[in-house]
Amino acid sequence: MKFIDGGVCAAQGFRAGGIHVGVKTRAAWKKDVALIVSDVECAAAAVFTKNVVKAAPIHVDRRHLADGRARAVIANSGNANACAPNGEENAERMCAAAAAAIGCAPEDVLVSSTGVIGQTLNVQVIENGIPELCRTLVHSAEGSDAAAHAIMTTDTVKKEAAVETSIGGKIVRIGGIAKGSGMIHPNMGTMLCFLTTDCDISSEMIREALLEVTRVSFNRISVDGDTSTNDTCLVLANGLAGNPSITSQGADYDAFLEALRALCVEMARRIAADGEGAKHMITCTVEGATDEAQAERIAKSVISSTLTKAAIFGADANWGRVLCAMGYSGEAFDPDKVDVSFISAAGSVAVCAQGRGLDFDEEAAKRILTEHDVTIAVAMGEGNGACTCWGCDITYDYIKINGDYRT
């Protein structure tokens, strides 16, 4: 298995594009509608937000995925189409317009939106832009790049990756694009992520794989503790790689799962690193927990702690905030067994052993925490459970960005 270029167009038979149609009225230079199309029908699956308040596209996608099949994805940025008049009608209109242009049933098109909540989506400009959007569709890295930029909101960089592996003697590729910078908190995916693959795999098995992979990737990131109304992670598999069809668990399924997991973990890390206003990416590793579930809950609590995030922003080795976050995680453990270290490219420093503070070089600790990528390493001494979660610091810029998000 290796990483390759191409994003959502890395796999055979997928074309993508993105243009500006006018959903983003204050930024005419920004692309705001993306389209991803397979040459043939696909097995499809998706995982959605657990927020009780769900955007209109999610309700539409649930209906369209009832048969486990799809052909295309259309997505807009600049408007969430959530809690807005005519939300589902407008989402269905997006699907119908895309379907008419590419020659499939509206039910074979999935739809996503991201942006401001509560405002009516100007679906007319999207419908008017579909012909031009279809003309931009290409099976190339450029097509994936355009689509990746078209779904960005406050993101500062596009999130795009692809992997290649061998299954049943055939080369199989999986690619993806994602957006996410704010309203990111572990509870499914808390972002938009579109995955494509040429693997021949059944709808049932692709859904099983997606559920497993989101659990250990997108569910383990946090930026600000807010779970979005629009979170969607979906996958299309068109089978053009020609591998023996995967219809049950086994060696071929395991190979596909490994590649999908590697891709989604990389995408999740990129989302965490691009948190709104972030200056540092935070990785929290927990080892020695009673089991993986306990390790995960504790690591999530640490990366979600506002005080811990603020300490990392200030390059302050305030390890007590780490123990505090562990303590309110809801997990029972012995604090007198806990060790904590801070690690980065500048070195490592042990700051706590057996639940007690150590004498350490504050200047060395500051140098370590000044690096962009910082790891908080926790050892619990309880068992063999381990987990890694990802987040970012919180900065003044986060407040600036979200204080005037609508303007």
Give the DSSP letter string of 221-239: EESSSPPPSS-EEEEEE--
Q: Name the token pair of 84.
A: 């807005």
Binding-site positions for substrate: 153, 179, 190, 276, 402, 407
Which residue in 49, 114, 190, 214 is the catalytic one?
190
Sheet holding 339-344, edge to edge: 221-222, 385-392, 281-289, 373-379, 339-344, 347-353, 356-357
Q: What span, in angstroms and rounded, lies between the C-alpha atoms of 283 and 291?
A: 19
Closest residue by Cα to residue 270 from 204, 223, 205, 213 = 223
DSSP structure class, residue 317: -
Contacts of 76 (CB under 8 A, 6+ apart): 23, 32, 33, 34, 94, 112, 113, 114, 115, 121, 126, 150, 151
User: Residue 274 in 3-state DSSP?
Assistant: coil
Between CA 238 and CA 241 the distance in angstroms is 8
Closest among 44, 126, 58 to 87, alpha carbons compared: 58
| Residue 197 appears among annotated catalytic residues | no
Q: Which residues pair with 160 in a beta bridge?
A: 177
Q: What is the DSSP string of 145-193?
A: HHHHHHT-SS-SS-EEEEEEEEETTEEEEEEEEEE-SSS--SSS-SSEE
Distance CA 308, CA 320 (A): 9
| Closest alpha carbon to 49 in 214, 237, 161, 292 | 214
Instruction: Answer whether 42's CB lies under 8 Å from 57's CB.
Output: no
Q: Can you tell me whether residue 319 is helix, strand or coil? A: coil
Question: Three-state DSSP class for 387?
Answer: strand
Element (H, E) at 115: strand 109-116
Q: What torsion, rounded to 10 degrees, do the Cα atoms 54, 55, 59, 60 define? A: -170
Give the residue numbers of the binding site. 153, 179, 190, 276, 402, 407
Which residues are known catalytic residues? Answer: 190
